Structure 1
Amino acid sequence: IFNRVHKGWRTFLHAGFVDGVAAFASPFTLTECLRLRNYEFASSLWQKWLDAFSSETFSSGIERIFRGAHPPGGEKWTRDVDMELFKELGVGSGGFGPVFGCGFIEILRLIVNGYEDNVMLLLDGIEEIPRRLSQQKVGSYSIRDRIIHKEVKEIIRTESGISLAIGEGMHATFDRVIVTSGFTNIQLRHLLTNDDSFFSYDVNQAIENSHMTGSSKLFVLTQNKFWKAEELPSCILTTGVAKAVYCLDYEPDKPSGKGLVLLSYTWEDDSHKLLTFDKGERFQILKRDLAKSYPRFADLLEPADGDYDNNIIQHDWILDPYAGGA
């Protein structure tokens, strides 16, 4: 059932797209150019995509490529079957249907940069990356020694440099500032788009009008790795409320150790409809939905020690005060 979608997508990744007039480089070609640091050539290839697809949504871009006169793989995708399958399967990681309304270029950028490929499990948690980076020394100080542990409010350009409002009337001035917060904070918290002291009018408008994607996750720490003992799937994709379920093993050397189930990994509308439910309600809703297709999995899915408060964690990126979206 997935043959046409699989063949078309793999051909697109390797051979790109020809619309009869222009040829567009494959995502893998762009990835290889970036890997070889051939940035000038990569930029010229990428510009062709920007010129032709910058106004396309992901949905319209996919339709243009795979339902046009020259579809990769040689077979046009059907709207009622193939497009629906692709919505559920995505680019191999599931659930891209909710982001069909987002920009085609934004999703293509994820693929070109390989963000969906060769994903690795960090046993010490994602925070281990900034922790180790902070331990590296620059001169005689580590980055960790320079962390002020205060929230940055407004960022202001002054005659003497760039001033950061960092607390109760406190300011610190620097020659250069690298801002890593999301567009929401750049506009509303740091006030960088209030005037043209940092960016031009057009750039300010681009920042303020950029779409921030909603995304929700719900994690359940389980007493054991029940999916292994019961030979249940460790990855489940559905068309229901529980769109994507992933079973994670952070203790592979301990067969009797605890397990972790990412019960819900959703985007946009699928995420937004869950925002009004607390984690306990959300867990029950997702579990009930999952029981329709995998009743045994749902029966065994419970937080360790029955502790709903500490062993269920949910995160909604759109409500994160330091992100404002994914």
Structure 2
Amino acid sequence: MTTPVTPDSTSADEDERPLTMFGPDFPFAYDDYLAHPGGLGHVPDSAVGTEVAIIGGGLAGMVTAFELMKLGMKPVVYESDQIGGRMRSVPFPGHLGVVAEMGAMRFPPSSTALFRYLDMLGLQTEPFPNPLAEATPSTVIDLKGESHYAHVLDDLPEIFAEVARAWQRTLEDHADLVPLQRAIRARDAAAIKRLWNELVVRFDDQTFYGFLAASEHFRSFRLREVFGQVGFGTGGWDTDYPNSILEILRVVVTAADDHHRGIVGGAQQLPVGLWNTEVESKYWPAGTSVASLNGGTPLPRVVGLRRTAAGIVVRDSSGDERTFPSAVVTAQSWMLLSTIACDDDLLPIDHWTAIERTHYMGSTKVFVLVDRPFWKDKDPATGRDIVSMTLTDRMSRGTYLLDQGDGRPGLICLSYTWSDDSLKLLALDAAERTDIVLRSLEGIYPGVDFRSHIVGEPVSLSWETERDFMGAFKANLPGHYRYQERLFGHFVQDSFEDRHRGIFLAGDDISWTAGWAEGAIQTALNAVWGVVHHFGGASVPGNPGPGDVFGELAPLRLGDL
């Protein structure tokens, strides 16, 4: 439920900084790094204009390309489908600005590096209608055939408040929530590392469910069952229960699941904007953009990577091969095991092991366009909204109502499902999926004729069947911390043998916060630092980059015992 675990109004003094995605594994201020007037660094004159391959045109790829271009390097972008990656906004013909967000659709204000780019591009955001959020007219929680209508948490039966209290107390008593969030607000890196590293040691082998079951506040199975259905924050279903509790704690302590905002006109505008934005740089003539440096179109799908004495050879689906002194791979890392043929020695063996052990969450969405936001109609008998934002244990699971404004059609995310729930829909086409979830909603809202309002064809996508993704995002299982630490720190290559240097991994699955755009941006900035360092460049005085302070702030390295 969308109630901040430590609301600013009660837990923070007015002069304290807000909660941000500052750490906790690597407490480096990426937002301050971006804001420095001196920029991110410089490369030697001999490296200016040097081509760097950017494999993948999602957010991480576009941030990497944009920032390297500003530093005078020439990003050469490869993209198998379209600029945007999992920021995929599908338009509805004839309805300008109305899009189905098939991937990223809601963004926490704690993503401060992300919002720097949104502000730079002039993109507007608006409150996202999560369950029980202020922007949500009403919420219905439907479990075991019984529905509960609410505007705020106190409108629900007492068991839901009991679940919320149990989660809050469990976090405070067993996960150092209050001191950890206080340290994040203060950007006290030493305190964050001390507190978080202790949690890593304690919980690396613990599942989300095991963490709950071990808490005295969740002794009741009924509480664990309800919590698994209504989730934490905005949608952590019990399909998250097998994942590492560290994945969940990272979200909670950094307020990543609170006060979400959507991007007006679609999230894909952000990576597309970085592709098209003209840069002000002494290295390039006026009007230069990543797009113009690439002739207006990225190169096609990468199908092979190998290293020669001359550099990193990139082969694309047209059969063309080009050699680069450096490359940044921002595609989901599983692609290096399947659709991209790679030399075995392209990466150190421990990094290959980490990629092989990566666990991805599946996810399915089903959207329909409707003639108007009919959900705002009132039931004459009860005075309630005839349809509400809905959380349920039925097949639809999560239904979001997206008001496009007066005089415009309405948009409904009929169903948002994860992992096992996504698999239940996987074999069905869009029309069959729509029928299944409509039957669920008709059971919750008898007498509401959803079907009569639908205009056009439904839009649906399952990320686990997408050839270039094979899942929505990474979600570490217990015992996977060591693998994530290797992947995140890959950009610092001074200890690598020469044959392993010059190729860098980025993207949200390389980050500690997969599924969040902020993680993609952070790893992109790591890769930018890595490329600059690889060419003999440096950060500007007074603005050390992530690699410059890595020895001090590096994530905990767990040993064998």
TM range (shorter): 0.7 to 0.9
Residues 258-267 or 158-167, more deviating: 158-167
Return the TM-score normalized by structure 2.
0.50
Q: Give 1:191 shift.
A: 4.1
Q: Give 1:205 shift.
A: 1.2
1:1-326 maps to which residues of 2 (within 5 A)? Answer: 1-12=159-170, 16-18=172-174, 24-26=175-177, 30=180, 33=183, 38-39=188-189, 41-64=191-214, 66-67=215-216, 76-134=217-275, 135-137=277-279, 139-140=283-284, 141-147=288-294, 148-192=298-342, 194-198=343-347, 200-230=348-378, 231-249=385-403, 251-252=404-405, 255-297=406-448, 299-302=449-452, 304-305=454-455, 307-308=456-457, 312-326=458-472
Amino acid at match of 1:197: L
Deviations for 1:237-276, whole angstroms, at most 9, x for unmatched residues? 1111111100012x22xx2311111111001111101111
The answer as to whether partners of 2:305 and 2:312 remain within 8 angstroms in 1 is yes
* Distance change in 2, residues 1:206/1:4 (3 Å): same
Structure 2 distance, partners of 1:96, 1:81, is 15
* SS of the residue 2:218 aligns to: coil
Q: Give 1:221 shift.
A: 0.9
* Distance change in 2, residues 1:33/1:247 (3 Å): same
Structure 1 distance, partners of 2:208, 2:306, is 37
Q: Give 1:159 shift.
A: 2.1
Amino acid at match of 1:320: E
* Distance change in 2, residues 1:291/1:125 (3 Å): same
Structure 1 distance, partners of 2:313, 2:191, is 38
The answer as to whether partners of 1:226 and 1:300 remain within 8 angstroms in 2 is no
The answer as to whether partners of 2:389 and 2:400 remain within 8 angstroms in 1 is yes
Deviating runs (4+, > 4 A) in structure 1? 28-41
Number of residues paired by the alignment? Answer: 299
Amino acid at match of 1:240: R
The answer as to whether partners of 1:95 and 1:237 remain within 8 angstroms in 2 is no
* SS of the residue 1:81 aligns to: helix
Amino acid at match of 1:92: G
Deviations for 1:169-227, whole angstroms, at most 9, x for unmatched residues? 212233332222113213212345x52332x2222112112111111100111111010
Q: Give 1:96 shift.
A: 1.4
Structure 1 distance, partners of 2:331, 2:186, is 29
Structure 2 distance, partners of 1:17, 1:146, is 54
* Distance change in 2, residues 1:294/1:132 (3 Å): same
Unmatched runs of 5 consecutive residues or more in structure 1: 19-23, 68-75
* Distance change in 2, residues 1:29/1:232 (3 Å): farther
* SS of the residue 2:416 aligns to: strand
The answer as to whether partners of 1:4 and 1:77 remain within 8 angstroms in 2 is no
CA RMSD of aligned residues (A): 2.4
* Distance change in 2, residues 1:38/1:123 (3 Å): same
**% identity of equivalent residues:** 29
Unmatched runs of 5 consecutive residues or more in structure 2: 1-158, 379-384, 473-561
Structure 2 distance, partners of 1:204, 1:125, is 35
Q: Give 1:113 shift.
A: 4.1
The answer as to whether partners of 2:397 and 2:416 remain within 8 angstroms in 1 is yes
Amino acid at match of 2:168: R
Structure 2 distance, partners of 1:275, 1:190, is 25
Q: Give 1:296 shift.
A: 3.7
Structure 1 distance, partners of 2:199, 2:453, is 46
Amino acid at match of 2:195: L
Return the TM-score normalized by structure 1.
0.83
The answer as to whether partners of 1:220 and 1:303 remain within 8 angstroms in 2 is no
Structure 2 distance, partners of 1:48, 1:40, is 12
Q: Give 1:136 shift.
A: 4.5
Q: Give 1:279 shift.
A: 0.8
Residues 315-324 or 45-54, more deviating: 45-54
* Distance change in 2, residues 1:223/1:174 (3 Å): same
